[in-house]
Amino acid sequence: MPLYLIEELAHDFTQAFDLSNLHRALQRASRCMGFDHFALNFDLHRHGASPDGVLLHDYPDAWAQVYVAFDLAGRDPVRRACDKSLTGFAWRDLPRLIPMTKGDRQMLAIGREVGLADGYTIGRHLPGESSGSCSFVMRAERSLPQGMLMVAELIGAIALAAARRLTVGPTTPPQVQFTDRQRECVLWAARGKTAYETSIILGISEETVIQHLKMARERSALHSRHELTTFALLCGFIGYQDIFPWWWRAGRRSG
Amino acid sequence: MPLYLIEELAHDFTQAFDLSNLHRALQRASRCMGFDHFALNFDLHRHGASPDGVLLHDYPDAWAQVYVAFDLAGRDPVRRACDKSLTGFAWRDLPRLIPMTKGDRQMLAIGREVGLADGYTIGRHLPGESSGSCSFVMRAERSLPQGMLMVAELIGAIALAAARRLTVGPTTPPQVQFTDRQRECVLWAARGKTAYETSIILGISEETVIQHLKMARERSALHSRHELTTFALLCGFIGYQDIFPWWWRAGRRSG
DNA sequence: CGCAGCATCCCCATTCCTTGGTATGGTCGG
DNA sequence: CCGACCATACCAAGGAATGGGGATGCTGCG
């Protein structure tokens, strides 16, 4: 596929002015690239925002029904792997990205039964704003079009950008910001320290630590410390390396 | 530029085994695509500790000195725009992505003076782990090679993936394994549910939920739920895309 | 069969977190 | 100078998590 054809496909996406346009563009693009199905989901990281995010796909009905009925989204290994790869990935490479449980393998097997054999998924994340993924899928007995994966990479990103444009609109959503002290307290909380321990570490009163965490929760409209630490990670206020340094020192690099 | 040539360039990156390889590959790729300069930075999300991120570039010396001396990285509008775009962007489009301050415009002007006219930047984020950007830049009096931007998009992403590989090492799944039930309880905990709420959702006793979380903590040698949910995210047992849609949908405790 | 692992259930004491308040002093910009 | 924001500190009540016990039944494997 020459580049100009990609640009032509891309044009469909940049011109899409609603979700049904986007759906059609995805369908056309996936066929052009030699895929059988597509799926795109896109979520904003803020409450009170436009209803429920975006979910577009042309998967077999059987699969869609099972997926929704059993809340399979929560255990979908493909979506989990999006957090672990900067580039797109083939589903057969999932075990290299994340630990697969018995349930995960079972889920992929059911997918194959209804006609979703292998797929290529492109994930994107904007800290503090949104995340999404776009998959192009082959039906049973067909393998991925190797020569098209880079094209899929481009088209997937363009489709996600279109989904974002249609969801977010022209105005960028307001970002939650923490003060330095709040971030510090959240960091120590994520490290598993109690408010009392944190107060010793920072040299302030326990009540003050509680207060900072309280303010941080209010700002992000969250009600528990678990959500707060997770939210801070998602926004990039703190990082895994701050919390589990041993993971990089002993667990991976040297090993 | 045909696709096979892209794959050849990509090969340079996947074979790079240290940063000087990566530097050479970037230099070659940027020339092939018709750009004059490149810059790549890759940062792990962490605070306080010595920054051990990657910064590779072949910018003019004058610019590099100013950039480092005044710590311009912290206020670089190009980097800020990386948080606001799912695809690459031309520097001339910055005002469409972010509000530009006087200082921002000044900074770009200084860049032009030392020979950095316009550029195309590709940004990537992995939640909790890292952020990076890769820019391909034209010197003064030359405009961006429009036909090459999609190629740059691909090459930039591949370069960032290589930088990540060289920085964080192989991303091998951990030795710890959760059972499916444990993972489910951790997921709902990460979604902000209490043990009691989770017990209702899963249709089991509250004590059982507590037990599953207790076992999960023991397996990962952690002592708090904060660490547990964070650890599960780090390992890929649960994903951000599984958590946040829930927060913003119906069913949150606050209503 | 026996044993390990898993999922399920129960109790209790202690500690910690959340939520609702109030209050002082410092800093920075309009 | 005033208002907005930040960091600091305190109190009280109710709810939730942690860590220590113990228990049953099922499955898969050698």
Residue A120 to residue A90: CA distance in whole angstroms: 4
pLDDT at residue A81, as a whole number: 94
Query: What phi and psi values does residue A98 have, to the nearest 5 degrees?
Result: -140, 160
Tell me the residue range of the domain where B238 lies: 180-248
- Residue at a domain's end among B123, B141, B168: B168
Mean pLDDT of chain B, nearest integer: 87
Q: Which two tokens stand for residue A88?
A: 């797109």
Establish, for the pair of chains A and B, how many residue pairs have beta carbons separated by less than 8 Å: 240
Q: Which two tokens stand for residue A237?
A: 């206020």
Residue B78 to residue B160: CA distance in whole angstroms: 16
Say if residue B117 is in the same domain as residue B223: no
Q: Is residue B74 over pLDDT 70?
A: no
Pick the residue from chain A with its C-alpha nearest to B3.
Answer: A2
Does B255 or B101 have the greater pLDDT score? B101
Cβ-in-10-Å burial (0-12, 13-18, 19+) of B232 comes to: buried
Residues 91-150, chain A, touching B (beta carbon < 8 A): 95-99, 101-103, 124-129, 131-133, 147, 150
DSSP bridge partners of B136: B38, B120
Q: Which of A81, A221, A230 sits opposite B243 (nearest CB)?
A: A230
Say if residue A35 is in the same domain as residue A137: yes
pLDDT per residue, tens digit, chain A (255 aa), is 667 788 889 999 999 999 999 999 999 999 999 999 999 999 887 755 445 678 899 999 888 887 776 666 677 899 999 999 999 999 999 988 888 888 888 888 888 888 899 999 999 999 888 899 999 999 988 899 998 999 999 999 999 999 999 988 766 666 788 998 999 999 999 999 999 999 999 999 999 999 999 999 999 999 999 999 999 999 889 999 889 877 765 444 432
**Does any domain span residue B18?**
yes
- Termini Cα distance of chain B: 54
**Does any domain span residue A175?**
no
**Does any domain span residue B255?**
no
Angle, in degrees to the nearest 10, between helices B225-235 and B180-190 = 110
Taking an 8 Å cut-off on Cβ atoms, the answer to whether A222 and B192 are in contact is yes
Say if residue B83 is in the same domain as residue B163: yes
Q: Which of B223, B240, B243, B253 to mutate: most A Cβ within 10 Å?
A: B240
Q: Which of A101, A150, A190 sits opposite B230 (nearest CB)?
A: A190
- SS3 at position B240: helix
Taking an 8 Å cut-off on Cβ atoms, the answer to whether A125 and B127 are in contact is yes
Does A163 or B77 have the greater pLDDT score? A163
- Residue at a domain's end among B118, B144, B168: B168
Q: How confident is the model at residue B253 (pLDDT cuts 50, 70, 90)?
A: very low
- Scanning residues 186 through 245 of protein chain B, those with a beta carbon under 7 Å from any atom of strand D turn out to be 189, 194-196, 210-211, 213-214, 217, 223-226, 228
- Please state the rounded mean pLDDT for residues B138-151: 90
- In this structure, the number of other CB atoms found within 10 A of the CB of residue A21 comes to 15
**Does any domain span residue A204?**
yes
- SS3 at position B140: coil
Say if residue A221 is in the same domain as residue A109: no
Q: How confident is the model at residue B200 (pLDDT cuts 50, 70, 90)?
A: very high
Does A8 or B5 have the greater pLDDT score? A8
pLDDT at residue B67, as a whole number: 75
Does B32 or B245 have the greater pLDDT score? B32
Least confident of A22-31, B38-47, B77-86, B173-182: B173-182
- Scanning residues 149 through 208 of protein chain A, those with a beta carbon under 7 Å from any atom of strand D turn out to be 177, 179-182, 199, 202, 204-208
pLDDT at residue B106, as a whole number: 82
Taking an 8 Å cut-off on Cβ atoms, the answer to whether A252 and B44 are in contact is no
Long-range contacts of A179-185 (CB under 8 A, 24+ apart): A179/A212, A179/A215, A181/A212, A182/A212, A182/A213, A182/A215, A182/A216, A182/A219, A183/A216, A183/A232, A183/A237, A183/A238, A183/B47, A184/A212, A185/A209, A185/A212, A185/A213, A185/A216
- Residue at a domain's end among B133, B168, B203: B168
Q: Which nucleotides of C are covered by protein (CB under 7 A)?
A: 5-11, 15-23
Say if residue A29 is in the same domain as residue A98: yes
Say if residue B14 is in the same domain as residue B69: yes
Structural domain count of chain A: 2
- Please state the rounded mean pLDDT for residues B64-82: 77
Say if residue A126 is in the same domain as residue A208: no
- Please state the rounded mean pLDDT for residues B45-56: 72
Query: What phi and psi values does residue A180 have, to the nearest 5 degrees?
Result: -60, -45
Say if residue B77 is in the same domain as residue B135: yes
Query: Distance, in angstroms, between A202 CA and closest chain B CA?
Result: 14
State how beta strands A37-44 and B89-90 pair. unpaired
Residue B48 to residue A239: CA distance in whole angstroms: 11
Q: How confident is the model at residue B173 (pLDDT cuts 50, 70, 90)?
A: low
pLDDT at residue A251, as a whole number: 45
**Does any domain span residue A173?**
no
Q: Which of B130, B161, B248 sits opposite A49 (nearest CB)?
A: B248
Q: Which of B129, B160, B222 sits opposite A239 (nearest CB)?
A: B129
Residue B221 to residue B218: CA distance in whole angstroms: 5
Q: Which of B149, B150, B226 to mutate: most A Cβ within 10 Å?
A: B226
Are the beta carbons of A111 and A137 closer than 8 angstroms? Answer: no
- SS3 at position B236: coil
Say if residue B28 is in the same domain as residue B108: yes
Query: What phi and psi values does residue A169 have, to the nearest 5 degrees?
Result: 80, -170
DSSP per-residue letters across B168-212: H---PPPS----HHHHHHHHHHHTT--HHHHHHHHTS-HHHHHHH
* pTM for the model: 0.90
Long-range contacts of B201-210 (CB under 8 A, 24+ apart): B209/B185
**Does any domain span residue A217?**
yes
Hey, which bits of chain A come out as E strands? 37-44, 54-57, 89-90, 118-126, 130-138
What CATH number is associated with residue B25? 3.30.450.80
Residue B28 to residue B38: CA distance in whole angstroms: 10
Say if residue A132 is in the same domain as residue A39: yes
pLDDT at residue B28, as a whole number: 95
Q: Which of B98, B226, B237 sits opposite A190 (nearest CB)?
A: B226
- Scanning residues 211 through 250 of protein chain B, those with a beta carbon under 7 Å from any atom of strand C turn out to be 211-212
Residue A83 to residue A81: CA distance in whole angstroms: 5
- SS3 at position B166: helix
Nearest partner of A54 among A168, A180, A140, A195, judged by Cα: A168
Query: Distance, in angstroms, between B210 CA and closest chain A CA?
Result: 15
Å from the A255 CA to the D21 C1'? 38
What CATH number is associated with residue B203? 1.10.10.10
pLDDT at residue A255, as a whole number: 29
Nearest partner of B242 among B198, B199, B191, B169, judged by Cα: B191
pLDDT at residue B2, as a whole number: 66
Q: Which nucleotides of D are covered by protein (CB under 7 A)?
A: 5-11, 15-19, 21-22
Does B103 or A43 have the greater pLDDT score? A43
Say if residue A103 is in the same domain as residue A150: yes
Q: How confident is the model at residue B45 (pLDDT cuts 50, 70, 90)?
A: confident
Say if residue A155 is in the same domain as residue A216: no
